[in-house]
């Protein structure tokens, strides 16, 4: 176990080093470097403090806006809701796969060894818990700061004022930590119970029961705070509410912390007891792909991570898809439609919502500068969505390169499905924006196709320009760079600028013509780039 | 005998490293040529340069007089390349891959019959609606072959086609190659298998440190 403990320690150190490496060189062992680390810790603590104080203003407005009399109760509802949502997701995931995540290397090095499963289970808990705790800790401190903002009178920033913020934030954090540890451990208990039941070839009834009861418990706590559940049951039945009240200074913090840590210890003991039957090799079978996915995302291989996620989602086989009699470049459109359909995920849905909201903003906002700001973000998403299939096809270079069709037909077919999708959702956004703003802007609608094609053309040009055949033959393809996104935003913004600056119908006409001209130019760049792939 | 594939002074450099020295090669109609050499000698580079998957540093390739740079579409119609590690779209099943190639090549007439017979021969009919990423390496190689064979071509390039195939599938492949040879197709394939080189090739080339020579 000593060797495995050491291995896990190395993994934890590597994980920490990865995050530190954004601003620090962990390998360098000198006192100057240690001093620099201390400086970084102080700098980022102050930075986070200032950022959260900044958020506290908004938080205070929301809390008092909902309930001016008892804003702390609103804060408790927010915190409990966050915990409930997370617990439902994490607990459900625990019912489907092992909570203990092993990498492919662990599967061979650790899980095959005759180790004490209890120790393995507990040893693997630290980093996942800390990572899971972080957003809750930030949220709790922000709520604490927001409540401090409400109680403090507006005025200069003084030491007393800062101490008040720090004190409220720390109190909120101190109750959040044990509460999160209790729930996190219970998620692992649910997962281990499920695995134990599967091992005995029984239904995971106990695991489901624990999950259901805990969800009900959290719901009842929220209900009580909202005044929906009977108060006659007394505070004994609503410990979580009392717990968070202590975090916001309405109960004894010492008692709450003590109870919290005692309960956490009990939960950890429970996990220790039940993980006697825990099978690391089984857990590795269920989770090694998850670990790979996380590694890919952590190191910036988003394209490969997306492919892995789709692979995991797709079944072994599928029924024959709709097969039209299309031929030539239309085959690419059919393939792209099929790929979009089968690869569509919840994340893509949120991307589409982004297009709707940004175009609503585009119509609603009155000034050129604010509109241009929207266009930059819209262009970033457009570049990503319209070139997804091109990027995918470049990574299947052997198939793609053997298709007998002219280059401009390739590019048009490749970009058409993504562009139409962006066009459709952007139009929905524009329509909603027009309803909200009470004005219809036909010129903006006419500018849209040119804007989309310009951004897509620029992004395609950038992708193909960076493409290298030796890498594409190995299944890897480049990603759209920030520079091309800025270029795309400029291309999309020029017609809007022209339309704003030149008044009357000549301005509108010039803007529409400019949007079309830029679009054709960008498409030509992309086609030409395809001709010169690999050319020095 | 008509010349199908003409390779003129083809070379490839990666920085200062020369992967392929200036190479000339002519393949006649109905000729099967095999290519062997040590790992890293330049076999795949030669094949991918001929298939125009990799841009050569210098030289030209023509198929039936069609040059890649001047007559790109016609060139592509006449050439099929099967890599040693084919990569497939993860969202498409094997059958859909074949359908896609047929659609893109405008050869949908009689597609179902041709695809069925091809997949039956290669032993993939039962798993035609599976996603290829679930296939074994041998099965993926067979699907790569099927994607090439589903459409007409004049020149076939194969990169180590038997490396992951079982004995029975190797025989099916060799039979298919002989059938293509009778139809006048020119074939160039790299292989480490001495039996394949001896049994199936009309001509044999060896490549060493990027230099091609006929044996």
Average pLDDT value for residue range B195-204: 82
By Cβ distance, the residue of B53, B74, B79 closest to A397 is: B53
Give the integer Cα–Cα distance in Å for A240 and A219. 11
Would you call B211 an interface residue with chain A, using a CB distance cutoff of 8 Å? no
H or E stretch including B58? strand B58-63
A317 and B130: CB-CB below 8 Å?
yes
Q: Which residue has the tokens 């929906």?
A: A228
3-state secondary structure of A396: coil
CB B37 within 8 A of CB B64: no
Residue A236 has a pLDDT of: 60
Please report, in tens digits, the pLDDT of each residue of chain A (536 residues total): 677 788 888 888 888 887 777 777 777 778 888 888 888 889 988 999 988 888 888 888 888 888 888 888 899 999 999 999 999 999 999 999 899 998 888 888 888 888 888 888 999 999 999 999 999 999 999 999 999 988 876 667 778 888 888 999 999 999 999 999 999 999 999 999 999 988 888 888 888 999 999 998 888 888 877 776 655 555 566 778 888 888 888 888 899 899 999 999 999 999 999 998 888 888 888 888 888 888 888 777 888 888 888 888 888 877 777 888 888 999 999 999 999 999 888 888 888 999 999 999 888 887 778 888 889 999 999 999 999 999 999 999 999 999 999 999 999 999 999 999 999 999 999 999 888 888 777 888 899 999 999 999 999 999 999 999 988 998 888 888 888 888 999 999 999 889 888 888 888 899 999 999 999 999 999 999 988 887 76
Contact A422, A430 (CB under 8 A): no
- Residues B115 and B96: beta-carbon distance below 8 Å: no
Beta-carbon contacts of residue A37 (< 8 Å; ≥ 6 apart): A20, A24
- Position B19 confidence tier, pLDDT thresholds 50, 70, 90: very high
Other residues' Cβ atoms within 10 Å of the Cβ of residue A413: 23
Which residues in chain B are contacts of A401 at CB distance < 8 A? 51-53, 76
The residues that bridge with B18 in the sheet, in sequence order, are B13
The 10s digit of each residue's pLDDT in B133-180 is 999 999 999 999 999 999 999 999 999 998 888 888 888 888 999 999
- If you average pLDDT over residues B106-110, what whole number do you get? 92
Of A503, A469, A492, A466, residue with least CA distance to A481? A466
Give A309→chain B minimum CA distance, Å.
11
What per-residue confidence (pLDDT) applies to A299? 78
Q: Given this model, what pLDDT does residue A154 score?
A: 66
Cβ–Cβ gap B91/A330 under 8 Å: no
For residue A153, the model assigns a pLDDT of 66
The shortest C-alpha distance from A452 to chain B (Å) reads 26
Q: Which of A411, A430, A427, A446 is nearest to A523 (CA)?
A: A411
Burial B62-87 (b: 16+ CB within 10 A, else e): bbbebebeebbebbbbbbbbbbbbbb
- Output the pLDDT for position A532: 83
Interface test with A, best of B91, B101, B133 (most A CBs within 10 A): B91
Question: A104 CA to chain B: closest CA distance, Å?
Answer: 18
Q: Compare CB distances from B55 to A310, A332, A534 and report the shortest one's residue.
A: A534
Instruction: Report CA torsion sign: A66, A70, A71, A72.
Output: negative
Look at B103 and A326 and tell me if their CB atoms are within 8 Å.
yes
The three-state secondary structure class of A43 is helix
Contacts of A317 in chain B (CB under 8 A): 93, 127, 129-131
Note whether B130 contacts A: Cβ–Cβ < 8 A.
yes
Which carries the bigger pLDDT value, residue B132 or residue A203?
A: B132
**A22, two tokens:** 């954004």
Q: Is any Cβ of chain A less than 8 angstroms from the Cβ of B131?
A: yes
- Distance (Å, whole) CA A409 – CA B142: 30
* B6 contact A CB<8A: no
pLDDT of A369: 80
- Domains located in chain B, CATH noted: 1-78+155-161+186-215 (3.40.50.300)
Tokens at A349, concatenated = 């849905």
Please check whether residue A433 is in contact with residue A360, taking contact to mean a CB–CB distance below 8 angstroms. yes
Answer whether A334 sits within 8 Å of B54, measured CB to CB.
no
Strand partners, B67: B62
| Tokens (6 digits) for A139 | 């949220």
Say if CB B148 and CB B47 are below 8 A apart. no
DSSP state of A320: P
pTM: 0.78
Residues in chain A: 536
Is the distance from CB of A122 to CB of A272 less than 8 angstroms? yes
CB-CB under 8 Å, B108 with A327: yes
């Amino acid at each position: 176990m000593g060797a495995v403990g050491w291995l896990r320690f190395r993994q934890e150190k590597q994980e920490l080093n990865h995050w530190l490496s954004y601003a620090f060189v962990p390998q360098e062992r000198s006192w100057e470097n240690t001093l620099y680390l201390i400086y970084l810790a102080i700098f980022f603590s102050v930075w986070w403090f200032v950022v959260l104080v900044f958020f506290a203003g908004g938080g205070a407005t929301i809390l008092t806006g909902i309930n001016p009399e008892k804003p702390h109760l609103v804060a408790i509802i927010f915190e409990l809701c966050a915990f409930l949502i997370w617990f439902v997701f994490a607990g459900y995931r625990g019912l489907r796969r092992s909570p203990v995540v092993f990498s492919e290397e662990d599967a061979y090095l650790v899980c095959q060894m005759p180790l004490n499963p209890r120790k393995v289970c507990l040893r693997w808990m630290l980093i996942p818990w800390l990572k899971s705790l972080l957003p809750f800790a930030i949220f709790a401190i922000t709520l604490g700061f927001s409540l401090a903002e409400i109680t403090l009178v507006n005025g200069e920033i003084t030491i007393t004022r800062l101490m008040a913020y720090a004190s409220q934030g720390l109190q909120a954090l101190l109750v959040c930590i044990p509460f999160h540890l209790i729930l996190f451990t219970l998620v692992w208990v649910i997962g281990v119970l499920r695995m134990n039941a599967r091992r005995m070839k029984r239904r995971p009834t106990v695991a489901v029961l624990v999950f259901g009861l805990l969800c009900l418990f959290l719901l009842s706590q929220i209900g009580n705070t909202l005044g929906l559940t009977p108060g006659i049951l007394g505070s004994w039945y609503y410990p979580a509410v009392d717990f968070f009240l202590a975090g916001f200074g309405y109960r004894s913090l010492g008692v709450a912390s003590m109870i919290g840590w005692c309960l956490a210890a009990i939960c950890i003991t429970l996990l220790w007891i039940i993980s006697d039957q825990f099978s690391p090799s089984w857990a590795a079978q269920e989770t090694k792909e998850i670990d790979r996915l996380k590694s890919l995302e952590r190191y910036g291989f988003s394209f490969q991570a997306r492919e892995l996620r789709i692979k995991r989602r797709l079944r072994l086989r599928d029924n024959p898809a709709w097969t039209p009699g299309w031929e030539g470049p239309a085959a690419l459109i059919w393939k792209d439609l099929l790929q979009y359909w089968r690869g569509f995920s919840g994340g893509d849905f949120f991307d589409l919502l982004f297009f709707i909201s940004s175009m609503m903003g585009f119509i609603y906002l009155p000034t050129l500068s604010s509109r241009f700001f929207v266009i930059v973000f819209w262009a970033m998403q457009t570049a990503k969505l319209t070139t997804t299939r091109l990027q995918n096809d470049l990574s299947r270079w052997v198939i793609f390169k053997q298709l007998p069709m002219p280059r401009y037909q390739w590019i048009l077919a490749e970009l058409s499905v993504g562009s139409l999708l962006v066009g459709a959702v952007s139009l929905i956004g524009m329509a909603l924006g027009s309803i909200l703003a009470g004005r219809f802007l036909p010129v903006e609608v006419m500018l849209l196709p040119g804007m989309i094609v310009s951004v897509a053309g620029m992004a395609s040009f950038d992708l193909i320009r960076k493409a290298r055949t030796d890498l594409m033959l190995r299944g890897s393809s480049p990603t759209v760079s920030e520079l091309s996104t800025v270029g795309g935003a400029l291309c999309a913004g020029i017609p809007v600028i022209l339309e704003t600056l030149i008044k009357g119908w000549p301005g509108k006409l010039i803007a529409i013509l400019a949007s079309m001209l830029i679009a054709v130019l960008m498409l030509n760049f992309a086609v030409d780039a395809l001709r010169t792939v690999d050319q020095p | 005998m008509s010349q199908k594939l003409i390779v003129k002074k083809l070379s490839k450099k990666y920085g200062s490293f020369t992967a392929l020295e200036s190479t000339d090669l002519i393949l006649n109609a109905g000729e099967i040529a095999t290519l062997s050499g040590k790992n890293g000698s330049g076999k795949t580079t030669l094949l991918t340069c001929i298939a125009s998957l990799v841009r050569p540093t210098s030289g030209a390739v023509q198929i039936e007089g069609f040059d890649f740079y001047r007559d790109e579409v016609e060139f592509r119609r006449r050439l099929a390349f099967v890599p040693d590690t084919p990569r497939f779209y993860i969202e498409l099943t094997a059958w859909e891959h074949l359908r896609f190639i047929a659609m893109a090549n405008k050869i949908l007439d009689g597609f179902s019959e041709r695809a069925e017979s091809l997949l039956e021969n290669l032993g993939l009919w039962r798993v035609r609606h599976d996603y290829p990423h679930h296939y074994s390496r041998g099965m993926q190689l067979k699907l790569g072959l099927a994607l090439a064979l589903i459409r007409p071509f004049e020149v076939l390039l194969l990169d180590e086609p038997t490396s992951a195939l079982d004995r029975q599938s190797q025989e099916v492949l060799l039979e298919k190659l002989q059938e293509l040879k009778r139809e006048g197709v020119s074939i160039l394939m790299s292989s480490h298998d001495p039996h394949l080189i001896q049994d199936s090739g009309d001509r044999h080339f060896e490549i060493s440190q990027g230099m091609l020579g006929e044996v």
